[in-house]
Amino acid sequence: MSKKAFTALIIAVIAVLAVSFISPAFASAAEAVTEDAGIQAFFVELKDNIIEAFNELKNDIYTVLIKNDNYRHITDGLLVTIEITFAALIIGLALGFVVAIIRSTHDKTGKFKFLNSICKLYLTIFRGTPVIVQLLIIYYLWLGKAGVHENIAAIVAFGINSGAYVAEIVRSGIMSIDNGQFEAGRSLGFNYVQTMIYIILPQALKNVLPTLANEFIVLLKETSVASFIAVKDMMKGANALVGFTYNMNIPYITVALIYLVMVLVLQKGVSLLERRLRNSDH
Amino acid sequence: MTTDNILIKVTGLQKNFGSLEVLKDINTEIKKGEVVVVIGPSGSGKSTFLRCLNRLEEPSGGKIEFGGVDITDKHVNINKHREKMGMVFQQFNLFNNHTILKNITLAPVKLGIMKKDEAEKKAMELLKRVGLEEKANAYPSQLSGGQKQRVAIVRALAMNPEVMLFDEPTSALDPEMVGEVLDVMKELAQSGMTMIVVTHEMGFAREVGSRVVFMDEGVIMEENSPEEFFANPKNPRLKDFLSKVLI
């Protein structure tokens, strides 16, 4: 995203929030002031209303987030969110790599027919159904019954789900490398595995690294549905706050802002990575 | 053994791609130090023939003996034999993510043939021989086509091969770069390297080749010394081919 577009977006978001925050003040000010009282009275009323709204907001933030260390629900949840995301990422990468190598070896050489069809079945199922359905099935029909902790179940579910996407990303990277690179490796005496490790995979990975990083960002956001199986992640923390403070605005907007900040930081990282890779593009 | 001097012996070599017969019945012997130039119209099977020699294409039938070993045998470790068969491709196929030096030393070091410093020393000597020692730390994308192909030749030579296979090494080059690559190949031939060269460069065939082979429709139609081959072609197809390429 260019800097200008980004600034415009931020301004738009702030404007929408500001309008939704101030418009009630407008409405009530307009109601309170009678027609003959004049425009000045309207502005005085409006000013009072805005100040009142700000105070109310300050008050709400205090009672919902600060009082009784309520924010801990969200920050503790944040740690769980990060933990699940990273663990699932590692499972997804490992699984995705294995599947990608099996699939591309099959495409190139015709070997691993049986394994390839298993991989294809896996990809079809996990890319063809919503992640939340997979999560519920894995927890309630399998791991939960076996007494596995819900956090572990979430890690497994998101890991397997992410693996399916990583597999196709890595496979596309492997297949994008010119077959001549492969033949050159083989002609020098490298076997299939050595050619993959020394020649094909480093180039393939470099090509797909930005896409893989994006998959990581998607995964981070997707884990927010883990609260469906009672994982105490950030979303669950927000829900809990809503439950006992009866305030919906502040917990959800806080969580949204935290997700947004994390995603923006990661995206910045991705674009730095992309630029570095482009600079070393030989 | 009486076959001591024969490096490669091809008997009844066949290759099919599905129902398409690309090589029908190839029989030939390549002696040590020979420079065999293979010419023929496109689609004649000459590249496939070359790629069958190190089994980049799996032969459908027949036998290839390399140094007395039948390398079409499924139990043979083809990788070991490929180390001794250098190959140069039309599209260079340098490893784009590595420097020139790493391109050359990667295989000898990773395959345990040489130590890193030894391989680098040899690589620098070879680069000097082709006049590219100052490019050692450049990347392939920074080189011209002719330079890339000279590096590709060096990369194959770094493995100390017994034979070099050239698959149309100058066909992807701009005309003004053909000469520099042919010069390197010529120098290599004069140093006594056994070479099999698929090419359209008739001048090279005439000047450097010790034998010229004409292939068409998947068979060897005629083979002879360059003098006889170009002065006295016997096969009508070869006559026709030469009349088109030698203007």
Is the pLDDT at A29 greater than 80, yes or no?
no
Judged by CB atoms closer than 8 Å, whether chains meet at A178 and B93 is answered as: yes
Reported as a single tens digit per residue, the pLDDT across A221-247 is 999 999 999 999 999 999 999 998 998
Nearest Cα neighbor of A162 from A219, A105, A123 is A219
Asked if residues B93 and A184 have their Cβ atoms less than 8 Å apart, the reply is: yes
Question: Which is nearest to A205 in space by CA: A118, A126, A273, A112?
Answer: A273
* Min distance A176 CA to chain B CA atoms (Å): 13
Chain B hits for A111, Cβ within 8 Å: none
Report the 3 state secondary structure along chain A: CCHHHHHHHHHHHHHHHHHHHHHHHHHHHHHHCCHHHHHHHHHHHHHHHHHHHHHHHHHHHHHHHHHHHCHHHHHHHHHHHHHHHHHHHHHHHHHHHHHHHHHHHHHHHCCCHHHHHHHHHHHHHHHHCCHHHHHHHHHHHHHCCCCCCHHHHHHHHHHHHHHHHHHHHHHHHHHHCCHHHHHHHHHCCCCHHHHHHHHHHHHHHHHHHHHHHHHHHHHHHHHHHHHHHCCCCHHHHHHHHHHHHCCCHHHHHHHHHHHHHHHHHHHHHHHHHHHHHHHCCC
The proportion of chain A whose per-residue pLDDT surpasses 70, expressed as a percent, equals 96
A194 vs B: CB within 8 A: yes
Identify whether the C-beta of residue A187 lies closer than 8 Å to the C-beta of residue B56: yes
Nearest 5°: phi and psi at B93? Answer: 55, 40
Residues of A in contact with B161 (CB under 8 A): none
How much of chain A, in percent, has pLDDT values that exceed 90? 64
Per-residue pLDDT band at A257 (split at 50, 70, 90): very high
Domain boundaries, chain A: 3-69, 74-280
| C-alpha distance from A265 to closest chain B C-alpha (Å) | 29
DSSP, res B159: T
| Average pLDDT value for residue range B207-233 | 94
Please enumerate residues of B whose Cβ is less than 8 A from a Cβ of A: 54, 56, 79-80, 82-83, 85-87, 89, 91-97, 106-107, 110-111, 139-142, 155-156, 159
CATH of domain A74-280: 1.10.3720.10
- In this complex, which of B80, B110, B141 lies closest to A194 when CB atoms are compared? B110
Distance from CA of A202 to the nearest CA of B (A): 8
| Closest CB to A199 among B83, B95, B139 | B95
| Cβ–Cβ under 8 Å, residues B19 and B165 | no
Q: How far apart are CA A188 and CA A190, in angstroms?
A: 6
> A89-128: per-residue pLDDT in tens?
999 999 999 999 999 999 888 889 999 999 999 999 999 9
Q: Which tokens sit at B236?
A: 């009508």
Is A213's pLDDT higher than 70? yes
If 0-12 CB within 10 Å is exposed, 13-18 middle and 19+ buried, where does residue A243 land? exposed
What is the number of other CB atoms lying within 10 angstroms of the CB of residue A92? 24
pLDDT bracket for residue B53 (50, 70, 90) = very high
Looking from the CA of A221 toward its CB, the CA atoms found within 13 Å total 15
Q: Which of B56, B90, B95, B149 to mutate to test the interface with A (most CBs of A within 10 A)?
A: B95
Q: Please answer yes or no on whether B140 and A198 come within 8 Å at the CB atom.
A: no
A with B: how many residue pairs have Cβ under 8 Å apart? 68
**Sheet architecture: strand order including B219-224:** B85-88, B163-167, B194-198, B35-39, B211-216, B219-224
Query: Helix, strand, or coil here: B211?
Result: strand
Bridge-based pairing of strands B6-17 and B20-31 is: antiparallel
How far does A181 lie from chain B, in Å, by closest CA? 5
Q: pLDDT band for A60, please (50, 70, 90 cuts).
A: confident
What is this structure's pTM? 0.82
Tokens, residue A144: 């939960």
Query: Looking at the complex, does the CB of residue A281 fall below 8 Å from at least one CB of chain B?
Result: yes
Q: Is the Cβ–Cβ distance between A78 and A258 less than 8 Å? A: yes
To the nearest whole Å, the CA of B83 is away from the closest chain A CA by 5
Residues of A in contact with B92 (CB under 8 A): 180
* A181, A194, A206: residue with CB nearest B95: A181
> Which of helix, strand or coil describes residue B29?
strand
Could B107 and A188 be called an inter-chain contact, meaning their C-beta atoms sit closer than 8 Å? yes
Give counts: helices (H), strands (E), chain B: 9, 10
State in Å, rounded, how far the first CA of chain B is from the last one.
Answer: 45
Q: Between the CA atoms of B92, B95, B97 and B103, what dihedral angle is there, to the nearest 10 degrees?
A: -110
Shortest alpha-carbon distance between residue B118 and chain A (Å)? 18
pLDDT band at B125 (very low <50, low <70, confident <90, very high): very high
Which pLDDT belongs to residue B1?
44
* Cβ–Cβ < 8 Å for A223, A157: no
Q: Give pLDDT, residue B4.
A: 66
What is the average per-residue pLDDT within B74-82?
93
Residue with tokens 């069809």: A117
Identity of the residue in A180, A202, A281 whose CB atom sits nearest the CB atom of B89: A180
**Pairing outcome for strands B35-39 and B69-70:** unpaired
Average pLDDT, chain B: 94
| B236 membership: H or E segment, kind and range | helix B236-245
- Min Cα separation B105/chain A (Å): 11
pLDDT of residue B240: 93
The single-letter code of the amino acid at A258 is: I
Which chain A positions have a beta carbon within 8 Å of B82's beta carbon? 186-189
Is A133's pLDDT higher than 90?
A: yes
Is there a contact between B110 and A180 if contact means CB atoms under 8 Å apart?
Answer: no
**Does pLDDT of A282 surpass 60?**
no
A203 in B contact zone (CB under 8 Å): yes
Give contacts of B91 with chain A, Cβ < 8 Å: 178, 180
- 3-class secondary-structure state, position B214: strand
Q: What is the mean pLDDT of residues B152-171?
A: 96
- Predicted pLDDT of residue B2: 47
Residues B153, B88: contact at Cβ < 8 Å?
yes
Contact predicate A160/A95, CB 8 Å: yes
Q: What is the DSSP letter of B44?
A: S
Q: Cβ–Cβ of A203/B96 closer than 8 Å?
A: yes
